[in-house]
A and B are shown apart, each in its own frame.
Chain A
Amino acid sequence: MVSLKATLITGRTIDQGVGKELGKGSKEYYDSAAICFLNKADIIKLGLKGRAKVRVTSKYGSVILKAAKFPRGNMPSIVFIPCGIWANALCGDDTYSMGMPLFKGFPVEVEPALPTDPVLTLDELLKEQYGRNSL
């Protein structure tokens, strides 16, 4: 299967900010945070079409996300995931004695996911990762 070695950047988007304030269980938050933005050339390279999903894997974990084209400019071999539980499934907790884990600029591998692979909701992901949620 085709895969892409890329650098992951996590950060804020305005939609994620709005979704967060509407509630972490809201559809707006899920739509805006469980998403992976890729460069146009990388989308073509991975053969992603329409409402495709990708599996993003790092040294620390793996998560399935909706794929989307990064709307502005060129961003070669960089993937962007908005802040949230989905992005943090990929981040490590090593702080190099500075209190701050590496949230940006670490290597990940991106590959196309099957159409049947689910993009988990907040409660589903909490259950999978921590074995509990509010339900």
Chain B
Amino acid sequence: MTEISNVVCPICGCLCDDIEITVENNEITKMKNGCAVCEAKMVHGYKSDERILKPMIRKDGKLVPVSMDEAVHKAAKILTDAKYPLLFGWSSTVGEAQRIGVELAEELGSALDNCCSVCHGPSVMATQEIGIPAATLGQIRHRADLIVYWACNPWTSHPRHVERYTSFTDGRFEGSEWKSYMQKLKAESGRKKMEMASKRITRITPPDRPQVCFTGPPPQTMQKPGRKMIVVDVRKTMTAEAADYFLQIEPNKDYEIFEALRCIVNDQELDVDKVGGVPVDSLKDVGEALVNCNFGVIFFGLGLTQSAGRFRNIEIAIALARDLNRKTKFIISPMRGHFNVTGANIVFAWQTGYPYALDFSQGYPQYNPGENTAMDLLRRGDNDATLVISADPGAHFPKAAVQNMIKHPIITINPDMNAISRLGDVVFPTQWCGIEYAGTAYRMDSVPITLKKVVEPPPGILNDEELLTRILEEVRAIKAEKGDVKPKEKLKIPAKPSRPAKVSKVVAKPKKKVTKKEVKK
């Protein structure tokens, strides 16, 4: 039995790095500190019956196990025969594999996109438009006294975000609000018990709440010292229950409410009573809290990027943070979903200059969201083959897009049998990043963290980096056979990332004295 501490959880953008794991007979048997989703993956999911153990090729409509060599050749043949393949995914794999992916796209002259285009792509576009005031999660943990969660529900999508980085963590300058939350829960539970008791005594059913978006005056907790949390959403979520003030807004009205808040923050008058279903008085209360904090942060989620307005919603949100910075310190941060979707943007950007929506068909990278993004390519039916790695568009793309995707061959690289692997023509198994092999991932605040290897993978399964390298070599060999290009020398995979060795003191050599004669020469 081995106990491994400080393991990094490879699930969401929080990349919690305090997980403790017990390994027995090359199996993870226990896990400490992680959330429910982390436990589901690291203790049960990674070794479930859904695991792919052999490469498969679809023959006569059925997936048949084949050798790795045959699958690699088939995949390379599909990619080289295609005029314009799409390489999509990359958000749940490590930076080292993403780097090979860019090289493969360049070799093929294909489209290259990552999951960012269907999550925070609009946030990237807005950031490129007007910039973003940002900070690391460590700064937020120690200093932020006002946390705003806008159109996101970290309690379910990033379960330890509140506990590790915001309201429920003890920072150096700001304390945890956990006790105050527990008191609120107790008070709420007591209120419900009293209501139930009064119903039994009087046998009168209380009237339903009014069928409108209801936002009352801010509760007394907004006046308390210490950290405050405001949640803005279209429905009451678990995060909203933990908040000091919850603002329930109408769907697709985020832009209007941001604009109204900008007016309030900039001391302008609003000549309406309500904006987006919220009374202006409530917005004034929020505006007052925003201006009066010492260090505030707005975390926003897919509620802004996936509803009407898309990148304009983010642009106006950043503009609000910019306005607030004239009066106090304020930052704004997207709640990135997959554990390395930020890394996909960063690796693509340092390799090509652009974070996603790339097109290599001209031999050099071109960037144009709305044209080169996976959804638009599939919608127009431009691509004639798809390689999906560490993603599941089969379950998370609209039906019409997947219907277009299956008209052409699909190659999948995923550790388990998700929806797109079930639809694939060539299905590769791969190792679980952060469990069976190490690599680099970027947290949602762009901090790189090294994932650990904690168990050995099943025999014969390659990791993403090795597998992509083999496909790339095979593609080059096929192209050389066709006479397209000369075969390049074998790719050298760099050594696995390891902690930098301790640097011994370097004694500076005394500089040589330059004589006047040497200067003249």
Residue on B nearest A76 in the bound complex, by CB: B211
Q: Which 10 pairs from chain A and chain B are nearest by CB?
A: A73-B236, A99-B373, A23-B50, A97-B370, A21-B41, A134-B422, A21-B40, A105-B251, A103-B306, A91-B398
Point out the residues of chain A lying under 8 angstroms from B403, CB to CB.
Answer: 129-130
A133 to B211, CA, bound (A): 43
Partner of A73, one of B240, B302, B307, B401: B240
Binds A, one of B153-161, B221-229, B291-299, B487-495: B153-161
Q: Is B394 close to A, CB under 8 A?
A: yes
A9 to B248, CA, bound (A): 14
Residue on B nearest A13 in the bound complex, by CB: B156
Point out the residues of chain B lying under 8 angstroms from A26, CB to CB.
Answer: 48, 50
A-B contact pairs, 15 of them (CB 8 A): A13-B156, A17-B40, A17-B157, A22-B45, A24-B418, A73-B235, A74-B248, A83-B395, A88-B395, A95-B375, A97-B371, A105-B234, A122-B419, A126-B419, A129-B403
The number of residues on chain A lying at the interface, defined by a beta carbon within 8 Å of a beta carbon of chain B, is 57
Hey, which bits of chain A sit against chain B, CB under 8 A? 7, 9-14, 17-19, 21-26, 40-41, 60-61, 70, 72-76, 78, 80, 83-85, 88-89, 91-105, 122-123, 126, 129-134
CB pair B121 A99 closer than 8 Å? yes
Point out the residues of chain A lying under 8 angstroms from B369, CB to CB.
Answer: 98-99
Interface of A is mostly: loop
Q: A13, A92, A105: which has the most chain B beta carbons within 10 Å?
A: A105
Residue on B nearest A24 in the bound complex, by CB: B418
Residue on B nearest A83 in the bound complex, by CB: B396
Residue on A nearest B306 in the bound complex, by CB: A103
Q: Is B213 close to A, CB under 8 A?
A: yes
Point out the residues of chain B lying under 8 angstroms from A40, CB to CB.
Answer: 208
Tally A-B pairs: CB < 8 A.
205
CB pair B117 A41 closer than 8 Å? no
In chain B, positions 318-369 with a C-beta closer than 8 Å to chain A are 357, 369
Q: Is B274 close to A, CB under 8 A?
A: no
Partner of B117, one of A12, A92, A99: A99
CB pair A99 B357 closer than 8 Å? yes
Point out the residues of chain B lying under 8 angstroms from A101, CB to CB.
Answer: 118, 306, 375, 397-398, 401
Residue on B nearest A18 in the bound complex, by CB: B40
Q: Closest approach, in angstroms, between the C-beta of B116 and any C-beta of chain A?
A: 9
Residue on B nearest A97 in the bound complex, by CB: B370
CB pair B125 A12 closer than 8 Å? no
Partner of A99, one of B41, B375, B402: B375
A97 to B379, CA, bound (A): 11
Q: Is B185 close to A, CB under 8 A?
A: no
Q: Closest approach, in angstroms, between the C-beta of B62 and any C-beta of chain A?
A: 8
Point out the residues of chain A lying under 8 angstroms from B44, CB to CB.
Answer: 21-22
Q: If A23-B417, A105-B307 touch, does A126 touch B422 (CB 8 Å cutoff)?
A: yes
Q: Closest approach, in angstroms, between the C-beta of B55 and any C-beta of chain A?
A: 14
In chain B, positions 437-455 with a C-beta closer than 8 Å to chain A are none
Q: Closest approach, in angstroms, between the C-beta of B214 and any C-beta of chain A?
A: 6
A95 to B373, CA, bound (A): 10
CB pair A73 B248 closer than 8 Å? yes
Q: Is B238 close to A, CB under 8 A?
A: yes
A93 to B393, CA, bound (A): 12
5 extra interface residue pairs, beta carbon distance < 8 Å, beyond A73-B236, A94-B379, A126-B423: A12-B153, A25-B417, A74-B248, A88-B397, A102-B306
Point out the residues of chain B lying under 8 angstroms from A99, CB to CB.
Answer: 117-118, 121-122, 357, 369-370, 373-376
